Amino acid sequence: MNPPRTDARRHHDPRVRGFASDNYAGVHPEVLAALALANGGHQVAYGEDDYTGNLQRIVRSHFGAGAEAFPVFNGTGANVVALQAVTDRWGAVICAESAHINVDEGGAPERVGGLKLLTVPTPDGKLTPELIDRQAYGWEDEHRAMPQVVSITQSTELGTLYTPEEIRAVCEHAHARGMTVHLDGSRIANAAASLDVPMRTFTNAAGVDILSLGGTKNGAMFGEAVVVINQDAVRRMKHIRKMSMQLASKMRFVSVQLEALLAKDLWLRNARHANGMAQRLAEGVRAVHGVEILHPVQANGVFAKLPHDVSERLQKRFRFYFWDEAEGVVRWMCAFDTTEDDVDTFVAALKEEMAR
């Protein structure tokens, strides 16, 4: 049989890489192969397919026998439907001021989910029981949105990590006050790889009730999942996912990507590599006089402060973003396909620009 004709052509140089986001990376070849494997023939739509069924088994091996996965299109969708599943219409979510749900989701939790976010400033992106208590009050006050959920991110938006003990303390504190705990795990694989523990160690074993499981940043084409650990949220999730336009008809193509990542160790290999490249980048940057690394490099991101004009010149050679432009803070992210040569070339360019 002749191969199918295609008129598509490449519009980019695949040798070009940057440090703007792990979302810039392509799709891991093993995930692409899985997508091709799932193609062909007919499978029942809306999650009744064999791939989504098998994904449930795999997710339970990572997050416990009672876990249930609800594949969705993207990370914002995962966070919004997860938070809706564990709140009432009058509910509020306590989160770090730097949390993705507060800073980078276009107001979706509040505008689409109808939630009130109660934010807390944190020095390192992490909540503690003491910080939670700054917003954990007023449950009987009809004039205030009711705190019902604590949302944490692992790894955080600042590239830092919670230890399993820190998450356990957050969960115990929240549960004692009648609140549930949501974990935004868009980079959960990077956290597990850095901590060198299974994901269950800091999720279901620590008391997390519901989590957003990332795939896109770790080698998938698209797709995340909401993993429900507290079964009280399962019935609501089924309806909220549809209402929030996150129910894929051809769900097998989301599920098979997560299956490819999670069934064996691809998720861990990809995350370990990205983390290792961030460590290499940090080591190179530390040798550059005048550049300051601001946070511990614990996952796949490096946050640094350097002269604004240097950053602007460097951005013409490599893509990356300002994190706080007024303060001269930038963020450099590594991905599963970042190479040692990519890192070394970038560090050499940074040295050149700093010397000008």
The stretch 52-73 carries a mean pLDDT of 98
- pLDDT value of residue 1: 56
pLDDT at 228 over 60: yes
Whether the pLDDT of residue 197 is over 80: the answer is yes
- Helix locations, the chain, DSSP H: 29-38, 50-63, 75-85, 100-103, 108-111, 129-132, 164-176, 188-195, 234-243, 252-262, 266-286, 308-315, 340-355
Which domains are present in the chain? 29-262 (3.40.640.10), 267-355 (3.90.1150.10)
Task: Supply angle C-alpha 213, 86, 236, rounded to 5.
Answer: 90
pLDDT band at 232 (very low <50, low <70, confident <90, very high): confident
CA distances from 155 to 19, 72, 145, 193, 340 (A): 18, 20, 28, 11, 23
User: Which whole number is the average pLDDT over 132-144?
Assistant: 97
Q: What are phi and psi of 211, to 5 degrees?
A: -145, 155
Q: What is the pLDDT of residue 6?
A: 73
C-alpha distances out from residue 315 to 4, 281, 287, 304, Å: 40, 16, 20, 14
Exposed, middle or buried by CB within 10 Å (0-12, 13-18, 19+), for 69?
Answer: buried
Q: For 39-50, how does the pLDDT look when each residue is reduced to its tens digit (9 = 90+)? A: 999 999 999 999
C-alpha–C-alpha distance, residues 342 and 314, integer Å: 14
- Quote the mean pLDDT of the chain: 96
**Rounded Cα distance, 16 and 26, in Å:** 12
Please tell me the predicted confidence (pLDDT) of residue 2.
67
